[in-house]
Structure 1
Amino acid sequence: MNTNELYGKLTALTMRTPPGYWGKRILSQLEYMNRVSYVQDRKWDGAILPVVEWLLARVDNEGAITERTALQAESMLAECGPAAKSYTLHCAAHAHLDMNFLWGWAETVSATLNTFRTMLDLLEEYSDYLFSHSQAAAYHIVEQYDPEMLEEIKARVQEGRWEVTASTWVEADKNMPSGESMARQLLYAKTYLSQLFGLDPDSLQIDFEPDTFGHSINVPEALNHSGVKYYYYCRGHNDNGHHLFRWESPSGRSVVAYKEPHWYDSRIEPEMALTVPEFCSRTNMTTMLKVYGVGDHGGGPTRRDIERIRDMQTWPIFPNIQFGTYQQFFALTERIADSLPVIREELNFIFTGCYSSESRIKLANRMSENMLGEAELFGSIASLFTSARYFGEELGDAWKKTCFNQFHDILPGSCVLETREHAMASFQEIMATAGSKKSYAIRKLAEHIDTSAYIVADEDVRESMSEGAGPGVGVHLFRMGASERGRGKTRIFHLFNSSVRAREELAEIVIWDWNGHVDSIQFHDSEGQSVPFQYVDRGFIEHWGHYFLRVLLKVNVPAIGYSTYVMTEKDGDMTRLSANDFYLAEQNLPPIEKYEFVLENAHLTARFDTQRFTITSLIDKHTNREYIDPANTAGVFRFIEEDTFNGGGNAWLVGRYRHVEPLIQWNLESCEIGEGFLRQSITIRTTFRSSKLKVIVSLDRDSCALNYKVECDWHEIGKKDQNTPQLNFYMPVKVDCKFFKYDVPFGTIDREGMEFDVPGNSFVAAIPTQRDVKRSVMLLTDSKYGFRSDGQAMAITLLRSSHSPDPYPEVGMHNFQFAVCLTDYTSTQQMLQESYHYQHPLEAVSVRPSRGILPLVNSFVTLERGQVSLAAIKVAERSAPNRWIVRLYETEGEQTTVSLKFSEKVKNAYFVSIVEQKTDGVGISINGSNITFDVDASSLASICVEFDCN
């Protein structure tokens, strides 16, 4: 038979049949059977064609397909029935509930409660109907705002007719949150839902992410470590055309992934059956999944959907149509899981604007992650060594707020003003919790450090004003509020380090209300050795009746520990200067006239154009290699006008660069040179368009990084019929490179250069093609996620004024930092360490001298061996302080042996899942306070460490 003949006549029948139920019913069955015949070597063409020809004649004679005609045609196709019914369409219901998308929190709550009420009503009416829903946050809304409804849902869950598909707190972005955030999404969702509904955490095996904008390479790794076996998604790059495959992380761990062939937000229509034969043929399955539920604002399946499924169940030449759950479908995939194609790549990129839109929300996310991690770390240490309270529940609640704000329409910035306001209000609560708990823990540790050697007998402190000065100062910079506790002329400072590596660098110390000889200040370490320091300010600064002076101190702090530094006054007769003297001695001098801008230390030399403020030379002094091509303008801020997208919100997409304006013709308001033997700096103030920019570029004595501290008063407005304004930083390098390295959740990835924005957790680095080049240039940020790399250049997208959904997302003051670094790109561990140190400054706390049990210098945890990066240290959920969870991941793509040294004797140690359940695994060697274990290449490891505190 000529296949084209069947196709042509079937097409003609479709076009000539008037609308109506019976015509739609028989045509749908014929088209479906045609698809069955196609995948079965045209086996059924001979049975289909006569029926099509007969129906064409009836339509010509009667002008329509009546009930009797349709039923007779179905009878004529009876021999096709078994083949048609050899396939099953598994219909799983879901209500897509966006959290704070184009509306605020109150509307999210209302949409959730109303949607769930509709679903409960339909479950009551239709005994065969099943409903599934994800997102632990949605159930938390019900528990908080309608506990009576929650009891109804619990009953349906126990009955097996309401499926809980959530494994994460929300359907979060999968690119910008840190790896630890990914872990917390899983930990808190599975823990909460298992307790709420009496479920086994292992039964929550599906990560349901229908609308998430892209999927990072290590998602399967995190899911595997939390007992999640299946991944459902819709949006994502997937050129291989597979809709069911095994998605494998670099470690080799994998999940079964289902990429929605249609759309997650859809109705029940006969056309849904047409893709079943081909899907089943390609996957060697006999069942295909159909996700249905109307509405992007709740709603969910409708009565019509349910009635249509029931009706289609009676169609004889159609697949088996059944109500089902996601778990039932994915269980069927286990039969063919070993034969599925394996995909070993990130499933990106979607919506390039989402890496930079609403930069305040992105700043909030980064700072929330960082501060909460430090609060847990120091809280764990303080609870173990000082019996201080560990605020696990409070920190967990703050983590849940952070997880909520990582929803795929909040953190990506594809949201409205109300969403941003709610996120930023939540951010303030997060920081209040994290900051106060971190401060509490560090203060408790500080109280137990023995500083009795610095007690000054008989010192008259009756006129002291310093104690309690500066309450809350530093919090706006996302540091702990380090109110002054010292008094008199001898001041004691403890410097705390949250990194698993020792750090030797500059730390900023704030001295309050010191009435000694200011020009005779000196610092010593705990061994009495003099420590170099440099003034930050040109004198005391008044703050609410108190006066403070900032200094930079060259410190050395051990891994996850602290060091002690003491400020005293030199002996001898000095001209007495007090806090009321605005200028320090010998600093009230005219500025030095400079004809070139050079920042230089033992590691690098950076030269700047004195008029354009661009980098003209960047030399690695160890190799004498030049990283700047004079033919390219390097280290330049650029004002860009993007094309707008008239068809929709441009928060999602970065438009074509239609105009690029390097800010090299600076409208300079001022330029200052900061000369110092510990830190050199250049400060530029300028205006452009309607905005102002202040940039301080500095280089510390032993650093390999030019740090850019930026203050931008941004007043550029994007408009639908004009353009989208953007500010970015552009850095071409004199290095041949094809690939660039980015940090991503729980690791890094090498990507080819691309002419569009891509996500990174904090940095991008050029990878030289020349094998003899061991160092390269890295752009490192404190709060930005959108990068662009192409050819021999890298860029950071700093600000974007998208106009929709939020018309004014960026207007106002912005403060952020980034750095141009020379780095050893061959060591991923070192790059991740540099990133951590950049984002987690040393924390200084002032104390009064007192007796204690802890030494002046101490390390609580040290990484003695292993190519790993530390993700978290926390007290285990609902546990005693002597049970810690330590999470880390391998960085170099090779199996590594890890040795961790603690300052307390280890009683027991074993591997656990992200959900903190003990797992099978090779044993961990324990030797006193040391533990040793292996971590597979590119793998995540979570260890429960129990200490012997007797």
Structure 2
Amino acid sequence: MPYNKKKMYVYIQNVIDKVNKAMYEKVAELDAVAWITKEPIPFHERCNGEEKQVRIGETWGQLWDCGWFNFTGEVPKTQKGQKIVLLIDVNGEGCVFDKEGCPIRGLTNISSSFDFSLGKPGKKVVQFLENAEGGEKIDIWIETGCNDLFGRYSKEGTLEEACVAVCNQEMRALYYDFQVLYELMSQLPDSESRHMSILYKLDEATKVLKDYTEEEAVKARKILMSELNKKGGDPSLTVSAIGHAHIDLAWLWPIRETIRKGARTFSTVLEMMERYPDYIFGASQPQLYAWMKERYPSLYKKIEQRIKEERWEVQGAMWVEPDTNISGGEALIRQVVYGKRFFREEFGKDMKILWLPDVFGYTGSLPQILKKSGVDYFMTIKLSWSEINQFPHHTFNWQGIDGTKILCHMPPEGTYNSSASPQAVKKTEAQYLDKGVSDNCLMLFGIGDGGGGPGAEHLERLERVKNLNGLSPVVQESSLDFFKRIDKDSHKYKTWNGELYLEKHQGTFTSQAKNKKYNRKMEIMLRELELSSMLAQINAQMVYPQQEIEEIWKEVLLYQFHDILPGSSIKRVYDESLNRYQVLMNKTQEMIQKSLEAVADNIDTHGIDNPHMVFNSLSWERKEWLKVKDDWQYLSVPPMGYSVVDEKEKDDISDKLVVKEDCLENELIKLQFNDDGTIKSIYDKEYQREVIQDGVEANVLAVYDDQGDAWDFDINYDERPFDSFQLRSRENYIDGPKAIMKQVYNLGESKLIQKVILTKDSRRIDFKTEVQWQESNKMLRTSFPVDVYATDATCDIQFGTIKRPLNRNTSWESAKYEICAHKWVDISQRDYGVALMNDCKYGYKVLENTIDLNLLRSTNYPGVNADKGKHEFTYSLYPHNGDYVTGEVAKRADELNIPLNCIEVNSSKDQLPKTKAFIEILDGDVVIESVKRAEDDNDIIVRLYENNSSSVNAQIFFNFDVKSVQLVDMMEENSSDIPIEKGIVNLRFKPFEIHTLKVNI
């Protein structure tokens, strides 16, 4: 008679389900009283909310409500000698606290949304008694949130379960024996003898199970041991497993809930470590640890102890896991500086790994930033999400735009939520693209995104699969040990050059435009604050506000988290962050003003009526028109310095400016408008050529249908008809040195006012725009088809530039239909080019000879009514001679973003001259990115970089007393002396190289 394997599979699965149900036997109910509040309250105030007796099936709260539950009861006397647990499910997240108010165990509702192919996220079992006497009183407190792991209102916030149960330990062990073997068998072809051997042992074990008693479970386990004890041979691949709980600091929940998620997750980890001695866990993000230290100090001490024991690995070299497309260069450095310093000061750990599993693409500037910060390795997963092309490696060397290399690894399973099951191990084996070259890879197991981390099921599986015949061996260890091991063969791995572009989530370059604008402005203002504070310390003996600046920086870095800055969080996150941004901006501006006033009041202003100091923070001389009070003046301001001016008005300000009904003109450029407000011609008078492609309109304010979410929009959006803002009125006028065409448009309920501005003696055409945006599922873009031929565009990124293709010849080029750039994108041929600049935008499309800028997206998930309301922004077209270097595009874009600062001088102490450059680049075209006080002393840190892809010998002049200068890394360590003579330092730069100087004064 033939074997009916199909029926055997079905029967075994049914038995596994029955074993699962037999693990816990409910023996008594718990009483539940809850105190409900809208926001979290601490343990010692837990009875201050609305008191409510809650029964099974009753609703206890609305979405985002908070509660303190007191569960009480008694262990039945009949359960003497049994292992007792509590089964609690509030259809939300919870955390058990001890009597001193320390979190001891996180809980998650079984109905929580999750990818069930990776396992079930629910955690409802609370360990209570190993060996009951019977009659023990139960009195526990649980802090709850009426939301599941992913911010969903689950089952109307009802109390699902609250009971005392006996844990049938042999039945529980049998369940995992069955589960692991059945899943291993399922991963093997039925033609393999291992498959059949497991099948028959599973079938034999099911035959001893009738009443599902502990005695039957013991017999069944003995049968299965023969298969579980079969070990693997000499491995070709070893999988390094580390417990993980990727916790988004905000996403489908507000930041305040993340803090509680941290406590739930970390307390669960600690409880699991007591039960599973092989368990190694790792968590990143110093911000999260800082919250634990502040809110849960007793929990934090327990974490410290596990870190000392090397059971808990602190991971990641950055303050948070930030977006690296949009965050500025100096911000990325500060992420590392503050992140590494925290882990060093708190735990004595020098972080060697950048840990960014879930970030939406990686700038080509990162390798140099990491290496010059003492970070040697990089771990991510997200590139496995690319939709068109498969990234060719899991273990590789990544080479940045300056030539710096860093060793990278991506766990082949393609998730940081591994189930640690046979299926996960087999998937890892099958998908590892570099197996054979490398015989090691990572697997990150546990419940992530919403936190929670590994559960007992993960660790039970790992005990069984660590050396199980049919699978690659799995070892629990730290990720640092793993990286050190694979580093020995780094010369064997292939190299990937340039950025790591994610072929997905390109909508995040634009979504939530207000947050992106605030981020750009705050990065600039912090630069201004540090420089002005440093100058006030040198010249006016003001105390440098180190602590205040660090606090502001850290909050800005928090909002650069990869689900906040990209725009992929719920509305509440942006309501709260926008309010905080405004507070930070006001505070920063006040501090800048105070510092500059201190400098200004030390200037010799004798002979000048109503003097004003005009301050230039950029590292080159600026010649610009500026309105000083009510008078326009053409000023020359030295680099990193100031000039003093009075209010005397200049003659002939508006000569050679022309405004007509359809035309603007200055000495260099002539614009002609169509009747609908678009531009039909931009003529370069100096070089006698047309800037815009003949017969094609420019600056069409196109509104495309956008049915995407905050992350993504349709790759073919531009192949469908679009709407345009309709011109309703137009006026032109001259304001001092500016010729202005003001045009008013509307579309539906939305209104747009745009001033097109030509300034005397300037090639830059500004489009100063104000929008009352009321559209849903729409995307606003502008485009400029330029009369220039090239094969690629040059794009501004952190500490340099990158080339992006202008064609779609290959699938790799087609995948980059939307790209991220910072202040400008340029298309140039050898003799002429055109750049499109902006003051707060990041999403571009470059195709053939057109530069297209994404201005606004109004999506409805996860943030509803995203970006509806008022927006103000400026983009600028800049035609120029030669390529972007000859045309000094980067300088003009910085000038657009960083205006001159005018300060009224109230007194004169005659200590400073009427004009002065404090730091000046005498030779070599390099950029001073930041000037700040050193982290650990009163020395000055000056960060510079080469921005034109050239090797240069630069001369830097310090126009104040300097004792010595050292070249240091970005952590302001590993110094080497640099000769200084008459205030001048000579420094060699490779293309896009960043140098950090430590200046002793």
* TM-score of the aligned structures, taking structure 1 as reference length: 0.80
Instruction: Measure how far apart 1:316 and its partner are.
Output: 4.5
Q: Distance in 2 between matches of 1:624 and 1:408?
A: 46
Instruction: Measure how far apart 1:218 and its partner are.
Output: 1.2
* Aligned counterparts, 1:65-104, within 5 A: 81-83=232-234, 85=235, 87-104=237-254
Q: Distance in 2 between matches of 1:828 and 1:394?
A: 40
Distance 1:17 1:257, change over 3 A: farther
Instruction: Measure how far apart 1:834 and its partner are.
Output: 1.5
Q: Distance in 2 between matches of 1:818 and 1:54?
A: 69
Q: Which AA in structure 2 matches 1:493?
A: H
Q: Which AA in structure 2 matches 1:146?
A: Y
SS of structure 2 residue aligned to 1:82: coil
Distance 1:335 1:826, change over 3 A: same
Q: Answer yes or no: is the 8 Å Cα contact 1:636–1:662 preserved in 2.
A: no
Q: Answer yes or no: is the 8 Å Cα contact 1:912–1:944 preserved in 2.
A: yes
SS of structure 2 residue aligned to 1:709: strand
Distance 1:747 1:492, change over 3 A: same
Q: Partner of 1:302 in structure 2?
A: 455
Worse overlay, 624-633 or 675-684: 675-684
Q: Which AA in structure 1 matches 2:367?
A: P
Distance 1:171 1:62, change over 3 A: closer
* Aligned counterparts, 1:55-134, within 5 A: 81-83=232-234, 85=235, 87-134=237-284
SS of structure 2 residue aligned to 1:698: strand
Q: Partner of 2:72 in structure 1?
A: none
Instruction: Measure how far apart 1:172 and its partner are.
Output: 0.4
Instruction: Measure how far apart 1:61 and its partner are.
Output: 10
Distance 1:499 1:61, change over 3 A: closer
Tell whether 2:952 aligns with 1:896.
Answer: yes
RMSD between superposed Cα atoms in Å = 3.0
Distance 1:64 1:210, change over 3 A: farther
Instruction: Measure how far apart 1:283 and its partner are.
Output: 4.9
1:255 aligns with one of 383, 401, 406: 406
2:818 aligns with one of 751, 757, 760: 757
Q: Answer yes or no: is the 8 Å Cα contact 1:74–1:317 preserved in 2.
A: no
Instruction: Measure how far apart 1:285 and its partner are.
Output: 3.4
SS of structure 1 residue aligned to 2:324: coil
Q: Distance in 2 between matches of 1:344 and 1:156?
A: 39
Tell whether 2:986 aligns with 1:936.
Answer: no
Q: Partner of 1:791 in structure 2?
A: 848
Q: Distance in 2 between matches of 1:876 and 1:59?
A: 66
Q: Distance in 2 between matches of 1:725 and 1:404?
A: 29
Tell whether 2:375 aligns with 1:228.
Answer: yes
SS of structure 1 residue aligned to 2:298: helix
Tell whether 2:953 aligns with 1:877.
Answer: no
Q: Partner of 2:627 in structure 1?
A: 508
Q: C-alpha deviations, 1:16-58, integer Å up to 9, x for none? A: 8843566664566578888xxxxxxxxxx9xx94555667788
Q: Distance in 2 between matches of 1:136 and 1:743?
A: 30
Q: Answer yes or no: is the 8 Å Cα contact 1:122–1:303 preserved in 2.
A: yes
Q: Partner of 2:359 in structure 1?
A: 212
Worse overlay, 370-379 or 758-767: 758-767
Q: Distance in 2 between matches of 1:492 and 1:710?
A: 33
Q: Distance in 2 between matches of 1:102 and 1:281?
A: 35
Instruction: Measure how far apart 1:918 and its partner are.
Output: 2.4
Q: Answer yes or no: is the 8 Å Cα contact 2:412–2:428 preserved in 1.
A: no
2:568 aligns with one of 403, 414, 422: 414
Q: Distance in 2 between matches of 1:358 and 1:133?
A: 28
Q: C-alpha deviations, 1:408-458, integer Å up to 9, x for none? A: 00000001111102211221232133212211110010010011334xxxx
Q: Which AA in structure 2 matches 1:895?
A: S
Q: Answer yes or no: is the 8 Å Cα contact 2:185–2:199 preserved in 1.
A: no
Q: C-alpha deviations, 1:334-359, integer Å up to 9, x for none? A: 11111111111311133011011110
Q: Distance in 2 between matches of 1:113 and 1:56?
A: 42
Instruction: Measure how far apart 1:874 and its partner are.
Output: 0.7
Distance 1:67 1:569, change over 3 A: closer
Q: Distance in 1 between matches of 2:255 and 2:195?
A: 55
Q: Partner of 1:457 in structure 2?
A: none
Distance 1:147 1:828, change over 3 A: farther
Q: Partner of 1:727 in structure 2?
A: 780
Q: Distance in 2 between matches of 1:59 and 1:324?
A: 31
SS of structure 2 residue aligned to 1:112: helix
Distance 1:58 1:403, change over 3 A: closer
Q: Which AA in structure 2 matches 1:601?
A: N
Q: Answer yes or no: is the 8 Å Cα contact 1:448–1:852 preserved in 2.
A: yes
Q: Distance in 2 between matches of 1:903 and 1:663?
A: 53
Q: C-alpha deviations, 1:458-480, integer Å up to 9, x for none? A: xxxxxxxxxxxxxxxxxxxxxxx
Instruction: Measure how far apart 1:15 and its partner are.
Output: 6.7
1:271 aligns with one of 384, 407, 423: 423
Q: Answer yes or no: is the 8 Å Cα contact 1:16–1:59 preserved in 2.
A: no
Q: Partner of 2:898 in structure 1?
A: 840
Distance 1:832 1:802, change over 3 A: same
SS of structure 2 residue aligned to 1:931: strand
Q: Answer yes or no: is the 8 Å Cα contact 1:452–1:849 preserved in 2.
A: no
Q: Answer yes or no: is the 8 Å Cα contact 1:207–1:228 preserved in 2.
A: yes
Paired residues, what number? 806
Instruction: Measure how far apart 1:831 and its partner are.
Output: 2.0
Distance 1:447 1:814, change over 3 A: same
Distance 1:451 1:146, change over 3 A: same
Q: Distance in 2 between matches of 1:435 and 1:257?
A: 40
Q: Which AA in structure 1 matches 2:278?
A: D
Distance 1:663 1:130, change over 3 A: same
SS of structure 2 residue aligned to 1:794: strand
Q: Partner of 1:614 in structure 2?
A: 678
Distance 1:57 1:736, change over 3 A: same
Q: Distance in 2 between matches of 1:191 and 1:311?
A: 39
Distance 1:287 1:657, change over 3 A: same
Q: Distance in 2 between matches of 1:625 and 1:599?
A: 16
Q: Which AA in structure 2 matches 1:413?
A: G
Q: Which AA in structure 1 matches 2:876?
A: A
Distance 1:280 1:622, change over 3 A: closer
* Aligned counterparts, 1:478-877, within 5 A: 490-510=609-629, 550-567=630-647, 596-609=661-674, 611-642=675-706, 644-645=707-708, 649-653=709-713, 656-657=717-718, 659-661=720-722, 663=724, 665-668=726-729, 671-675=730-734, 678-716=737-775, 718=776, 724-753=777-806, 756-768=817-829, 771=830, 774-823=831-880, 824-827=882-885, 830-877=888-935
Instruction: Measure how far apart 1:495 and its partner are.
Output: 0.5
Q: Partner of 2:578 in structure 1?
A: 424
Which sections of structure 2, spanning at least 5 residues, go unmatched?
Answer: 17-174, 209-219, 807-813
SS of structure 2 residue aligned to 1:915: coil
Q: Partner of 1:40 in structure 2?
A: none
SS of structure 1 residue aligned to 2:611: strand
2:999 aligns with one of 932, 935, 945: 945
Q: Which AA in structure 2 matches 1:503?
A: R
Worse overlay, 695-704 or 231-240: 231-240
- The percent identity for this pair of structures is 26
Q: Distance in 2 between matches of 1:885 and 1:125?
A: 49
SS of structure 1 residue aligned to 2:646: strand
Instruction: Measure how far apart 1:569 and its partner are.
Output: 9.3
Q: Which AA in structure 1 matches 2:576?
A: H
Q: Answer yes or no: is the 8 Å Cα contact 1:353–1:654 preserved in 2.
A: no
Q: Partner of 1:375 in structure 2?
A: 529
Q: Which AA in structure 2 matches 1:634?
A: A
Q: Partner of 2:606 in structure 1?
A: 452
Instruction: Measure how far apart 1:403 and its partner are.
Output: 0.5
Which sections of structure 1, spanning at least 5 residues, go unmatched?
Answer: 1-8, 35-44, 455-489, 511-549, 571-586, 719-723
Worse overlay, 674-683 or 432-441: 674-683
Q: Distance in 2 between matches of 1:88 and 1:704?
A: 61
Greater relative contact order (CA < 8 Å, ≥ 6 in sequence)? 1
Distance 1:593 1:185, change over 3 A: closer
Distance 1:366 1:828, change over 3 A: farther
Q: Answer yes or no: is the 8 Å Cα contact 1:377–1:873 preserved in 2.
A: yes
Distance 1:288 1:260, change over 3 A: closer
SS of structure 2 residue aligned to 1:933: strand
Q: C-alpha deviations, 1:299-352, integer Å up to 9, x for none? A: 011121112212223635543332211111111111111111111131113301
Instruction: Measure how far apart 1:193 and its partner are.
Output: 2.0
Q: Which AA in structure 2 matches 1:241?
A: P
